Amino acid sequence: MPAYTLEIINYLNQSSKKTSELVMDIGGNDGTFMDLIAEAGYQNRLVIEPSISLAEVCRNKHHP
């Protein structure tokens, strides 16, 4: 993950409502960023991943 990832999550925490805001990850790879978003309490998440095998990894981690 890039060094600025936690800065992104901190920004989201200051400017959004965790239970209702949609957080999308375009090209989510294996869902690592969404793992952090879920740990931060965001429930409304969506990963767009064109690789079928990586999309399956995301689904198995319960990232829609």
Q: Render 9-58 in DSSP notation, one character per residue.
A: HHHHHHHS-TTT--EEEET-TTSHHHHHHHHTT---EEEE---HHHHHHH
Distance between CA 61 and CA 32 in Å, rounded?
10
Q: Token pair of 56, please?
A: 């399956």
The yes-or-no verdict on residue 12 having pLDDT over 90 is no
**What does the pLDDT read at residue 46?**
95
On average, the pLDDT of the chain sits at 90
Place of tokens 């805001």: 21
Instruction: Specify the pTM.
Output: 0.81
Question: Mean pLDDT across the stretch 4-8?
Answer: 90
Give the pLDDT mean for 7-34. 87
